[in-house]
Structure 1
Amino acid sequence: MKDSIDTFRPAERIASLGVSEILQIGARATARRAAGHDVITLGAGEPDFDTPDHIKQAAWEAMQAGDTKYTALTGTPALKAAIAAKFDRENGLTYAADEIIACTGAKQVIYNAMMATLNPGDEVIIPTPYWVTYSDIVEICGGVPVLVKCEADQGFRMTADQLRDAITDKTRWVMLNSPSNPSGAAYAASDLQPLIDVLLDAPQVWLMVDDMYEHILYDGFTHATPAKVDPRIAPRTLTINGVSKAYAMTGWRIGYAGGPKALIAAMAIIQSQSTSCPSSVSQAAAVAALEGPQDFLGERCETFRKRRDLVVDLLNGIPGLSCRVPEGAFYAFPDCSGLFGRLTPEGQLIEDDRAFCAWLLEAADVAVVPGSAFGLPGYFRVSYATSTETLELALSRIADAVARLSER
């Protein structure tokens, strides 16, 4: 066994990559909990609600009916029909069956698209902060992530000027996520149109849109998706969604997308040589999610809104922290740079966001994710997809830990 370890050689494509920092922090929190500490983890990117009963019932019925075999590569006819109806009903987008693909999670949708289209050196523009997987997938597929820094004072949204400046003759894709993980920022139609105008002048650039959190929006904010805002960009737009967040189905692993037929066909080639079809039972459950009752979505969104208000208020009440009010998703993304340069009681310097988050885990037994993991140092992500009582306790611990820091 030792000889095998000594001679193992990983592929160069993953040499600069590692396991997601979110998962690493989760593992450290789990280890600390196993050692007897009462750790609160605010790093989870999944709703704390259960999958609705009617969806679970559909899965059970599918199993009882023997729907446990391989399905069509890109999704069952029933699921594709449900996805097409969803896009039409909620987004005003029309897709034929051969313009839709269902995958084992939205992450695979993104991977399939990048693997099917990127050549070595092709560039992908990604506004930061961004979901950690975006840039890693681009690199695995031979592309070059081009990160565009979007701070809190611009609403964590990329401007048309920033996009224009980032485009080169090597640009292949632009990625947009609204509402955003990790910032909760969302693009209104008026924010999207200037970006689309830039892309209309750059015909070699395609647009990848991650709408996963579209049903988690607050204060009357209306979801907008680029292919509907301006249909001229639709022929080179891949619109991605899934059932994980809105329907609390993270473990069911169903993501989907609508886009040009040629792109979907190329993505299907990649999928055919990796996972083949998504789970047959999960597809049946996803049909029930998309076609069944939708009233609970608003109820759950209201619960998230109340938690958002609580978390943002408590964070802004802690000296040295500043938190913008997010439009959607279930994350807050506070600025912790006001604490840099302070010392812990043990004399450790809080020099950056990673040091601050490590200190919170050690001193407060609260696990959060540093903004550096999302491409924007100086911040940290708080998931409020947990109970009000847990959030109040966690924020109290954070406040106490910050109070123990001293000036140099």
Structure 2
Amino acid sequence: MKLAASLSRLGTESAFQVLARAGELAAQGQDIINLGIGQPDFRTPEHIVQAGIKALQDGAHGYTPANGLPALREAVAADLHRRHGATVSPDNVIVQPGGKPTMFFAVMAFGEPGAEIMYPNPGFPIYESVINYTGATPVPIALSEDQGFAFDAEMVLGQITDRTRLIIINSPANPTGGVTPKEQIDKLVAGLEAHPHVALLSDEIYSQMLYDGREHVSLLNYPSIRDRLIVLDGWSKTYAMTGWRLGFAVWPDKLVEPITRLCVNDHSCVNAATQHAGIAALTGPQDEVRDMVAQFDTRRRYIVKALNDLPGVRCADAGGAFYAFPNIEGTGMDSRTAQDRFLTEAGVATVSGTSFGAMGEGFVRFSYANSLERIEEAIGRIDKLLAG
């Protein structure tokens, strides 16, 4: 068989490889503490689960509109107004099976040989993977530890060329937990006025997971770029619904029809019962969301301090999401070696910083989506390993 060359350019998400290896070691009888995978360790709230069950019992067994149930898109628009004060038409909301289809479709809409697409590095690995797949040139936006892994607007604007088609930003960020301050977002948006040919994808999937009084700055609140802005969000992180595969994006008018066609060609529509559960999530009580974020905050405070106390390790404050991204250069190990030794010698699953781009060398991602007790034990194991 002769395969298309584009398939060889497609990368992967190493966190799933780490999860598989951790599973193998656990099956062999080892006690593995998983601080690798990026998913909440909480159950989906019960009223959401019951809404999905009821939808199945009531006969929600068929196809739905390719862009999502009207009631769900209306609920999304109302939720965005409640959280951000942004006015969004349900007609601009497209519901998809998770957040990755939005990334894939947005990059496919702009990426081709000769085009340039900018993306955060270190950043979610699927950005760079899909850019490469389309044949476009990936242009990294360097995120540095000394700036709390926030992007620098002047640097981003300085990298724009006449070939730049799309800029991807992510705040709060995976893998770093970094949060970009409003003043940098203001500068970026103002600077984009001189580059009307450049579109923007804002990945805001962690928008409800912020700490120490930080407030989310949604790009939806900048009217000057709404005609070229794509905003990604969803249910996976906020409502502990990773396995339900439910996400959405707000698209500018000119992209709604072609992206809906991509949905038809790719997946037809999203699971009907899952969409009813999504309505319940947005319109029902939010107490469990607030409780989950409060527990993440407690863990965050512990793990950042504990990592800074480890020999050869320093860790910047994590302002959002549920990740810490410590610098491990002082241990004498590179990122991949640290990942492998933490897993095989200490029984702690983490993810190498290089899984998130070349600029992640010297770092390891810790997900604190695990109980405080297990996080404490994991840090103790790593401390013993480093001291040995």
TM-score, normalization: structure 2? 0.97
How many angstroms does 1:358 deviate by?
1.1
Tell me, in whole angstroms, the C-alpha distance in 1 between the residues paired with 2:12 and 2:117.
Answer: 21
Tell me, in whole angstroms, the C-alpha distance in 2 between the residues paired with 1:300 and 1:238.
Answer: 27
Q: What SS does structure 1 have at the residue aligned with 2:86?
A: coil
How many angstroms does 1:97 deviate by?
2.7
How many angstroms does 1:123 deviate by?
1.3
Query: What do the CA deviations read for 1:297-338 (whole angstroms, capped 9, x no partner)?
Result: 221111000000111111011010000111110000000011
Q: What SS does structure 2 have at the residue aligned with 1:325?
A: coil
**Is 1:353 aligned with 2:345?**
no
**Is 1:291 aligned with 2:291?**
no
**Is 1:194 aligned with 2:187?**
yes
Q: What SS does structure 1 have at the residue aligned with 2:258?
A: helix
Does structure 2 conserve the Cα–Cα contact (< 8 Å) formed by 1:188 and 1:222?
Answer: no
What aligned pairs does 1:255-294 form with structure 2 within 5 A after superposition? 255-294=247-286
Does structure 1 conserve the Cα–Cα contact (< 8 Å) formed by 2:116 and 2:137?
Answer: yes
- In structure 1, the partner of 2:368 is 384
How many angstroms does 1:94 deviate by?
1.8
What aligned pairs does 1:139-150 form with structure 2 within 5 A after superposition? 139-150=132-143
How many angstroms does 1:44 deviate by?
1.3
**Is 1:180 aligned with 2:173?**
yes
Tell me, in whole angstroms, the C-alpha distance in 1 between the residues paired with 2:257 and 2:111.
Answer: 15
Q: What SS does structure 2 have at the residue aligned with 1:173?
A: strand
- In structure 1, the partner of 2:382 is 398
Query: What do the CA deviations read for 1:191-212 (whole angstroms, capped 9, x no partner)?
Result: 2101112212111111101111
Q: Which runs of 5+ in 1 are unaligned?
A: 1-7, 341-349
Tell me, in whole angstroms, the C-alpha distance in 1 between the residues paired with 2:281 and 2:49.
Answer: 9
Q: What SS does structure 2 have at the residue aligned with 1:186?
A: coil
Query: What do the CA deviations read for 1:333-368 (whole angstroms, capped 9, x no partner)?
Result: 00001112xxxxxxxxx3x11111111112111111
**Is 1:372 aligned with 2:354?**
yes
Query: What do the CA deviations read for 1:268-317 (whole angstroms, capped 9, x no partner)?
Result: 11111110111101100000001111122221111000000111111011
Q: What SS does structure 1 have at the residue aligned with 2:248?
A: strand
Does structure 2 conserve the Cα–Cα contact (< 8 Å) formed by 1:115 and 1:270?
Answer: no
- In structure 2, the partner of 1:321 is 313
Does structure 1 conserve the Cα–Cα contact (< 8 Å) formed by 2:34 and 2:370?
Answer: no
Tell me, in whole angstroms, the C-alpha distance in 1 between the residues paired with 2:256 and 2:305.
Answer: 44
Does structure 2 conserve the Cα–Cα contact (< 8 Å) formed by 1:322 and 1:334?
Answer: yes
Q: Which runs of 5+ in 2 are unaligned?
A: none
- In structure 1, the partner of 2:69 is 76
- In structure 2, the partner of 1:121 is 114
How many angstroms does 1:188 deviate by?
2.7
Does structure 1 conserve the Cα–Cα contact (< 8 Å) formed by 2:9 and 2:133?
Answer: no
Query: What do the CA deviations read for 1:87-119 (whole angstroms, capped 9, x no partner)?
Result: 111122222232110001111111122223323
Aligned residues: 386
How many angstroms does 1:64 deviate by?
1.2
Tell me, in whole angstroms, the C-alpha distance in 1 between the residues paired with 2:71 and 2:220.
Answer: 24
Does structure 1 conserve the Cα–Cα contact (< 8 Å) formed by 2:12 and 2:126?
Answer: no
Tell me, in whole angstroms, the C-alpha distance in 1 between the residues paired with 2:381 and 2:2.
Answer: 44
Greater Rg over alpha carbons, structure:
1
**Is 1:91 aligned with 2:84?**
yes
**Is 1:40 aligned with 2:33?**
yes
Tell me, in whole angstroms, the C-alpha distance in 1 between the residues paired with 2:260 and 2:315.
Answer: 41
- In structure 1, the partner of 2:229 is 237
From 130, 147, 156, the counterpart of 1:163: 156
What aligned pairs does 1:206-225 form with structure 2 within 5 A after superposition? 206-225=199-218
How many angstroms does 1:16 deviate by?
3.6
Tell me, in whole angstroms, the C-alpha distance in 2 between the residues paired with 1:97 and 1:226.
Answer: 17
Query: What do the CA deviations read for 1:363-404 (whole angstroms, capped 9, x no partner)?
Result: 111111011111121101000001011101111011111112
Does structure 1 conserve the Cα–Cα contact (< 8 Å) formed by 2:76 and 2:90?
Answer: no
Letter in 2 for 1:328: G
Q: What SS does structure 1 have at the residue aligned with 2:168?
A: strand
Tell me, in whole angstroms, the C-alpha distance in 1 between the residues paired with 2:219 and 2:256.
Answer: 18
State the percentage of identical aligned residues: 39
Tell me, in whole angstroms, the C-alpha distance in 1 between the residues paired with 2:181 and 2:215.
Answer: 7
- In structure 2, the partner of 1:344 is none
Letter in 2 for 1:127: P
Does structure 2 conserve the Cα–Cα contact (< 8 Å) formed by 1:163 and 1:198?
Answer: no
